[in-house]
A and B are shown apart, each in its own frame.
Chain A
Amino acid sequence: MINYIIRRLLYVIPVLLGVNILTFVLFFVVNTPDDMARMQLGDKHVTQAAVDNWKQQRGYHLPLLWNAQEAGLKKASNTIFFNKSVGLFVFDLGISDSGRDIVADITQRMWPSLAIAIPSLIFGVLANITFALLLIFYRSSALEFAGLFLCIALMSISGLFYIIAGQYFIGKLLALTPISGYAPGIDAFKFILLPVFIGVISGLGAGVRWYRTLFLEEAAKDYVRTARAKGLSELQVLFQHVLKNAMIPILTGIVVILPLLFMGSLITESFFGIPGLGSYTIDAISSQDFAIVRSMVFLGSFLYIIGLLMTDISYTLVDPRVRLN
């Protein structure tokens, strides 16, 4: 087991290196730091001195990969690649292009993101499983057909619509919750109600269909037929056999997205004005802060890979049939 985990951990390194090189190429080779400086400084007629100054302040004045002017090891280390990319591996994300400490920003902003993401996940999964079980319970009836059509219709509505309609009807017309905003501590409760509710509703169509296929696959198996044959009621079959066995793919499906919850939701956070990592990323994209976008790309990939790793490990823990080679 330990051996397996170590092997999987070692596989993470080349993937992260690949992500690093890809982002480096995207951010520094396709466009030189000079281009970025001109874009940031805003004007077509910037002096070279201003560009040099901008680059000097952010450490973009060094050569890209190889510094021929330095001696020894510094030839490789005193470059943009070493300073900007290798630092990511030890989570030294540096400062943003507007001069703020990225690590401090992220640690401060991840809590509002989690406050939205965790309840959305829990209530979303509960709602999806409940409705999927209902569809299975009433299978091959008009109710199931209507339910499936409703799922497809819910899936076909843009996520933006759910947010805008929710804000308008629940926030503005009925005034049940604040339209947007956030407050730290216990006051956050009334602000997260609406985003969580909309998060659950907008995921319902796809989620119910996905869980339904999982349950259907389980329900077609021999042991379910045996359970019915020995006279168990439909409810007993569903809860004690189908649900229990379908928990393996459900749990591993949840485990894979757990780490990504930190990243928050871009759209939800920016619509509701929640100071989380999602709105942080959106602000960085719209103000073209490359340092933050690069850090978030790395953080996102890192968390995704951790998620994959956790899935693999949870498979081996939950399902004794999975062999470790």
Chain B
Amino acid sequence: MLTLLWTDIAMLGLVIGVIVAIWRSSKKEHLRRPWAKVFNNRVGVVSLTVVLVFLLIGVLDSVRLQHHDPLPNGDRNEHAQTLSVLDIILTPLRLQVEKTYSQPFASTAYSKEMSVDKAGVSRWTYPRLLYGGAHLQNPESDKQADILSKLSKGLAQGVAAWCVLIFIVWLLIKNLFNSQSKGVSTSLLTLLVIFCVVGMAASLAPYYHILGTDKVGEDVLYQALKSIRTGLVIGGLTTIVMLPIAISLGLMAGFFRGWIDDVIQYVYTTLSSIPGVLLIAAAILMAQVYMANNPELFTTVEERADMRLLLLCLILGITSWTGLCRLLRAETLKIREMDYVVAARALGVGRFQLLKRHVLPNVMHLVMITIALDFSGLVLAEAVLSYINIGVDPSTYSWGNMINTSRLEMAREPIVWWSLTAAFVFMFSLVLAANLFADVVRDAFDPRYIK
């Protein structure tokens, strides 16, 4: 049975909306040309493929089901939990919880403990982990060979899965290998790399904690993968909130001018004059007071955290529309004086038809570029906001929360570096892919960039 949270619905709606938009715009020649340029650019295709893989993980994490976990003796747990599809796929990672910190690929704990061995002698040693490397008799001597054999097995599985994928794609598009487009082949090569990485991780993950475990013993890889959804929701939903406001107000201000322009300019000057972080802080503080005083509105911790995430997107959207609005206003002011608009007006085309048919399509490149550029900024902003405690709920998986909790462990000896590194590497790969894609999109859509 499906049980969706508000952000799940919004996230899935967003994905469906994007697919519909792509399908509809693929019929229009003037939109197809810049996109063809993007797909012919190697950097564009590679970064798009990486973003899509992240998106797939995010979508899998947004479909929630009632699930019965297996019990250690193999029976089915009677008590059902609401889990996302990703949780179910990652069941071994989710359930293999250690006591506390352990290093990546470790088979013993991070710190020494007093333990009693079979002979009844108590010793001060590093205890073995419950799950990490637990299948090995002699971790010191066997571990390296075991990891290597699992790696090569995973690599082989990854390549095999990729071959199956190629075959399916080949069945769908027969002239795949003689087509001129660089796009498909580059994308498939990127997928080969991703498949190999996923295959190796999948064959190692049930036996080792690839990225170690955190303070409460949770697998760091699991946390990092779960955080992908939060990053995507913040980047994506904020855009949905921001776009309608920015587009409608920007076009109206530029097109109608006069008092409408004055009012809209006043609103965005006022709003953008308030430092963004402080406005977000104020709004989140107020939301916290409201939630603290109305606990009956939220039945579970999850719902509460979800509401806070939604609210954060809303506030980020409200603080971030001013930039695009200003751009669109300036562009509309230029377009409304163009000959074709004047001609259409002289022919008696109504004002809203004029806006819809002649102005809006000609500012869409600005919208595309802004969406692509803002997305990565929002993913990075989440980490900073969570650090000041005005970001997502502390119970939500997010890179910001991972950084925030592991930051305090930097002073430990030996240093606990893996949580922090995992969060930064995951965030970096998503943001880098998004930024590179944004750059290619801008080159393709911005008329000034034609060389």
Could you list which residues of chain A lie within 8 angstroms of chain B, going by C-beta atoms? 14-15, 18-19, 22-23, 26-27, 30-31, 35-36, 38-39, 152-153, 155-161, 164, 167-168, 172, 260, 263, 266-267, 270, 281-282, 285-286, 288, 290, 293-294, 296-297, 300-301, 304-305, 308
Contact = CB atoms under 8 A, between A and B. Distances in A.
B231 to A, nearest CB: 11
A254 to B, nearest CB: 18
Nearest to A140: B451
A293 B428 contact: no
Given A26-B282, A30-B286, A285 B388 contact: yes
A31 B286 contact: yes
A11 to B, nearest CB: 8
B143 to A, nearest CB: 28
7 contacts: A31-B286, A157-B424, A161-B424, A164-B410, A285-B389, A285-B390, A290-B285
A159 to B, nearest CB: 6
A285 B285 contact: yes
Nearest to A155: B435
Given A26-B282, A157-B428, A267-B387, A300 B290 contact: no
A160 B431 CA distance: 14
Interface string B385-406: 0011110000000010001000
Interface string B423-441: 0100110011001100100
Contact of A297 (B282, B292, B388): B282
Contacts of B390: 285
B275 interface: yes
Given A158-B427, A168-B410, A301-B275, A15 B270 contact: yes
Given A285-B388, A293-B282, A158 B383 contact: yes
Given A156-B432, A156-B435, A281 B424 contact: no
Contacts of B290: 30-31, 35
B431 A156 contact: yes
A26 B286 contact: yes
Where chain B touches its partner, the secondary structure class is helix
B178 interface: no
A15 B273 contact: yes
Nearest to B283: A26
Contact of B279 (A35, A158, A172, A297): A297
B293 A158 contact: no
A282 B282 CA distance: 12
B279 A39 contact: no
Nearest to A25: B286
Contacts of A30: 286, 290
B295 to A, nearest CB: 9
B266 A14 contact: yes
Interface in B361-381: 376, 380
Contacts of A281: 278, 281
Contacts of A270: 388
A153 B432 contact: yes
B42 to A, nearest CB: 12
A300 B432 contact: no
Nearest to B406: A164
Given A30-B290, A157-B428, A158-B424, A19 B273 contact: yes
B283 A22 contact: no
A172 B417 CA distance: 14
Interface in B262-286: 266-267, 269-275, 277-279, 281-283, 285-286
Interface of B: 266-267, 269-275, 277-279, 281-283, 285-286, 288-290, 292-293, 376, 380, 383-384, 387-390, 399, 403, 407, 410, 420, 424, 427-428, 431-432, 435-436, 439
Contacts of A161: 424, 428
- 4 tightest A-B contacts by CB? A18-B270, A300-B275, A156-B432, A156-B431
B285 A288 contact: yes
B72 to A, nearest CB: 39
A133 B286 CA distance: 47
Contact of B281 (A156, A293, A308): A293
A35 B403 CA distance: 32
Given A19-B274, A158-B380, A285 B410 contact: no
A167 B388 CA distance: 19
A266 B389 CA distance: 12
Given A26-B286, A157-B424, A304 B275 contact: yes
Given A152-B435, A153-B432, A159 B274 contact: no
A293 B388 CA distance: 13
Contacts of B288: 39, 288
Contact of A301 (B266, B273, B285, B432): B273
Contact of B383 (A23, A39, A160, A168): A160
Contacts of A301: 270, 273-275
